[in-house]
Chain A
Amino acid sequence: MRRALTLALLALLVAFPHAAQHWGQMFYVSFATRIIIYALAVTSLNLILGFGGMVSFGHAAFFGAGAYTVGILMAEGAASVWLAWPLAVLVAALFSLVIGAVSLRTRGVYFIMITLAFAQMMYYLAVSMRAYGGEDGLTLPGRSRLGAGLELSNDVTFYYIALAVLAVALYLMRRLLDARFGQVIQAIRENETRMEAIGFPVYRYKLTCFVIAGAVAGLAGALIANQNSFVSPNLLQWTQSGTLMVMAILGGVGYLWGGVLGALVYLVLEEALSAYTVYWQLGVGVVLLAVVLCARQGLASVIARLIPAGSVPRG
């Protein structure tokens, strides 16, 4: 049932740019790409927040690290996707390794505060990079170059690339969550002390999970830099971490589709409401309150209840 729905959704998303083109609404292709990119970023946050139980308030640091890697490389004349994107992932992974290695020695509120502090340090680092726009940000000359006759500057092509990245990421995350590693991570969320007591090196698992999430956020950052053709310190600011977190909570913390749903609903609300008022955040706040009060586990939990799960058969 779920697999059929997933495939139907995928078919719909593949057909979407053609429909938009047909009705001359190309704006929506670019808007959908933005949703897809945020969906990827929130999904990566959901891995540590929802499945690993690590409430990181600094996820924008890795998102921004990926974006700046692409931006700086492009400013220096290196525009190849095949260089810039893997490097964005690598840089974000390295930052998350260092930040995680320190932060994961703490628990609870201390963990929230220390991840926030690290992210703010990276924000000010970005502000201080005068050569790359400083506070004003850096406008990129174009999008990364993919080769093979494909032009990312074409919005439809870029949409498909982003969609493919998200689809692969979701599939890999599903595998990971069902495999040994994911099961261990989820058990650590439930009872960390007992996991240690039955012989798991808990810290190592949490750090690995943190780095995977950081790396994926870096990839999302590389995509957003291309999408906007612009990077600025705002990408790393704590409000950005907050937005990612709100999206995750809205969509469903600890649900595979939570990140996608959260990004979708948040950005559509933002788009729809900001047409009427500059105080659109008030509307988003009301919706968030309603969701948290009525469906504490987020929108994905409501959908999960409606659609029967196809659990992995034993044996």
Chain B
Amino acid sequence: MVELLAVEGLYKHFGGVVATDRVDFAVAEGEIHALIGPNGAGKTTFVHQLAGALRPDSGRISFGGVEVTHTSFHERVRVGIARSYQITSIFRSHSVLDNVALAVLARSGSAFRFWRALARETALFDEASAIAAEVGLQTKLTQLAGRLPYGEQRRLEVALALATRPKLLLLDEPMAGMDPQAAHGIVELIAGLKGRVTVLLVEHDMDAVFKLADRISVLVSGRVIATGAPDEIRANGEVKRAYLGDEAAA
């Protein structure tokens, strides 16, 4: 197992609340690794730190063997870590195509260019429309992102992260708020990424997690209490107690 992402002793607190409590954690190259945990366990805070949106108080994050603990948010995207958001964060008054094109633009050379119209850079938009097609939005290219139905906005959310061509994709509850049918579509989308990109999936939907994940880590009160294959996690007594409640374990 080759480690793509390695986290050692990661620690973050807000006032008296310890959000990330000396977490050791690793994601192997090529796997779909799910991170589960009850509400308020600190999953999103953890993702923020991996992506670089939040600085940890202490600890170390390395990616592909290189330390990135102090690498800024946007630099980490260049290194190959991209994230999606639990609360949809897209460019609502841009078209679907323009949304994805912005993410393609971010990695296609400097944007400190002041003369040639972006709309004339055909290659950029060709690539963007190919990526939009990957998430099933090929028929929606000219629609305003803010006018899309919620399920399709969630797909665009993933497309924006995907368009940065990451090595590691951090998906923060990609199925949040979706009806089962639309959620199923996202499950298939993520399954289709397998082998092409390493995925860290933060998710509440247990069916989806057990269907997709190669390994699962359980975060409770800022601590990782277990990591293992889905079957091991299902059988783990501590996980049942902490996550499913005491009655379920009984």
Contacts and interface: CB of A to CB of B under 8 A. Distances in A.
Contacts of A181: 111-114
A196 B91 contact: no
B164 A194 contact: no
Interface stretch (B14-22, B36-44, B71-79): B71-79
Given A176-B114, A179-B115, A179-B118, A196 B74 contact: yes
B32 to A, nearest CB: 21
B160 interface: yes
B118 A198 contact: no
A312 B111 CA distance: 18
Contacts of A176: 114-115
Interface in B101-126: 102-103, 105-107, 110-122, 125
B82 interface: yes
B120 A314 contact: yes
Interface in B56-96: 72-75, 77-78, 82-83, 85, 89-94
A178 B89 contact: no
A208 interface: yes
B160 A178 contact: no
Interface in A261-315: 311-315
Contacts of A184: 102, 105, 111
Contacts of A179: 113-118
B122 A315 contact: yes
A198 B82 contact: yes
Contacts of A315: 120, 122
A294 to B, nearest CB: 22
A175 interface: yes
B51 interface: yes
B163 interface: yes
Given A184-B111, A314-B125, A178 B118 contact: yes
Nearest to B103: A198
Interface string A163-196: 0000000001001101111111001001101111
B91 A314 contact: no
Contacts of B122: 314-315
Contacts, number: 110
A129 B71 CA distance: 45
B91 A208 contact: no
Contact of A197 (B51, B105, B107, B115): B51
Given A194-B90, A313-B119, A315-B122, A199 B114 contact: no
Interface centre among B72, B89, B106, B116, by most chain A C-beta atoms within 10 angstroms, is B106
A202 interface: yes
Interface in B121-168: 121-122, 125, 160-161, 163-164
A193 B85 CA distance: 11
A195 B89 contact: no
Interface of B: 51, 53, 72-75, 77-78, 82-83, 85, 89-94, 102-103, 105-107, 110-122, 125, 160-161, 163-164
29 contacts: A175-B114, A178-B119, A179-B113, A179-B114, A179-B115, A179-B116, A179-B117, A180-B110, A181-B111, A183-B105, A183-B118, A184-B111, A187-B91, A187-B94, A191-B89, A193-B53, A194-B90, A194-B91, A197-B77, A197-B82, A197-B83, A197-B85, A198-B103, A198-B106, A198-B164, A199-B74, A199-B107, A201-B72, A314-B119
* Pairs of residues from A and B, 5 with the lowest C-beta to C-beta distance, nearest first: A199-B77, A199-B106, A180-B111, A178-B117, A198-B103
